[in-house]
Amino acid sequence: MPPVAELTALEVKRFEGPGFYAVGGVTGLYLKIAPGGSRSWILRATVGTKRKDIGLGGFPDVPLTRAREKARAAREMIWAGTDPISHRKAAKLALKIKQTNHITFRQAASRCHASKSPEFRNDKHRKDWIATLERHAFPILGDMPVSGIGMPQVLQVLEPIWHTKTETATRVRQRIEAVLSWSTVSGFRSGENPARWDANLKEVLPNPGKIAKVVHHPALPWQDVPQFMKELRKREGNSARALEVAILTASRSSEARGMLWPEINFETKIWTVPPERIKAGKEHKVPLSDEVFRIIENQPRIDGVQLVFPAPRGAQLSDMALLQTVRRMGAPAVPHGFRSSFKDWARSCTAYPDEVSELALAHVNSDATRAAYARDELLPQREKMMKDWAKFCLTLPNEEAKSQERSI
């Protein structure tokens, strides 16, 4: 077959009617006009032993000159032993896989957070976990692909807050590490985790324990607790009663504010706090002194509300409610600080082993011996201790002295 004359763009544009029109310039290059009028470029060539029509794009999006370039490139691939159609499919698949595996740090953090959701003890901790990343990590890492995050980017997040907000920075680092670990096991990145501390960031950032200032919760000296309790008992409202119970049970504010009626065993006088409300993540049994039991028994029950100390509209009291009670009384302390007052009292005024007060505070037992010693939760000893603590809290020193004088 004689070679087809190389047509001009204007000549090609004049073709009408369905069919294949040879345009010349490259053997086998045709303009295909479909019955509906759409136009596209086709290269007819033998690939291996098979005759194939290779699409090169539509007209006029792909002009005549570009169609000839693509046709020549396809023939070069065929001459080199490559099927242009198979090569194109493979390239599209690779791109699709790459796009599927492209995930930003923000997306990875969201999915990691969702996977860890069952681990959080309460909704506040769940929200705090992602909120710290939103505030400190997302402005820098949020839109970056996790596959491209290295130590320089992690340091860009941490260095501005490492000295000034060390505790927060430590949590941010841990959470970035968790997100990148999730990304690795999920196939979105590979290699070392740049947010890892040991043998990594440890070498370029100062140890947080060396630079962070330990800020203790303001607490009343244990000697001043009875006078405070005397004034507290004069106050009305659930905030005052919840604070009173928190102090007398050496509980955290959140535990007392979240106390539910079903958690109270009125026969054994034991309050069982579920794991999700305990910092250690373990069920905690609290022996209730007679004074605490009296406060609870005097609390009115509201239909449809299980909270023992609800807010006016039935919801849980806020942490600020108890804090404001302490502030209004002018005490240089916070609700959590009374746990320290209790601990100091136990060490200064009693002969109870340290393990007993530690269990009363629901502290984690990291020492194996202490953990074994505490298998029975030392409830009998703790019951006596909480009765002694309540007696101390509710008896002013001068009143106790007068009582002793009367007995003499």
DSSP string, 104-159: BHHHHHHHHHHHHGGG-SSHHHHHHHHHHHHHHTHHHHTTSBGGG--HHHHHHHHH
Measured CA to CA, the distance from residue 292 to residue 278 in angstroms comes to 20
Per-domain residue ranges of the chain: 9-100, 105-211, 222-407
Q: How many CB atoms lie within 10 A of CB 48?
A: 9
Those residues whose C-beta lies under 8 Å from the C-beta of residue 289, and which sit 6 or more positions away, are 248, 386, 387, 389, 390
Radius of gyration of the chain (CA): 37
105-211 falls under which CATH superfamily?
Tyrosine recombinase, N-terminal domain (1.10.150.130)
pLDDT in 10s for each residue of the chain, 408 residues: 566 788 888 888 889 899 999 998 898 999 999 998 999 999 999 998 889 999 999 998 999 999 999 999 999 998 988 888 888 888 876 666 566 567 899 999 999 999 988 887 777 788 999 999 999 999 999 999 998 899 999 999 999 999 988 989 999 999 999 999 999 998 888 899 999 999 999 999 999 878 765 555 688 999 999 999 999 999 999 999 999 999 999 999 999 999 999 999 999 999 999 988 887 778 899 999 999 999 999 999 999 999 999 998 889 999 899 999 999 999 999 999 999 999 999 999 999 998 899 999 888 654 544 454 555 678 899 999 999 999 999 987 665 544 444 443
Please give the single-letter amino acid code of residue 166. Answer: T
CA distances from 299 to 261, 310, 329 (A): 10, 10, 23
Q: How far apart are the first and last CA of the chain?
A: 134
Question: What pLDDT does 91 receive?
Answer: 80
Q: Where are the beta strands (DSSP E) in 250-305?
A: 264-265, 270-273, 284-287
Question: What pLDDT does 371 receive?
Answer: 52
Q: What is the CATH number of domain 222-407?
A: 1.10.443.10
Instruction: State phi, psi for 253 to the nearest 5 degrees.
Output: -55, -45
Which tokens belong to 341?
A: 């007052």
Q: What is the CATH number of domain 9-100?
A: 3.30.160.390
Measured CA to CA, the distance from residue 157 to residue 171 in angstroms comes to 12
Question: What pLDDT does 401 receive?
Answer: 42
Question: What pLDDT does 209 receive?
Answer: 79
**Do the domains at 9-100 and 105-211 have one common CATH topology?**
no
Kindly report, residue by residue over 369-383, the tens digit of the pLDDT. Answer: 445 455 567 889 999
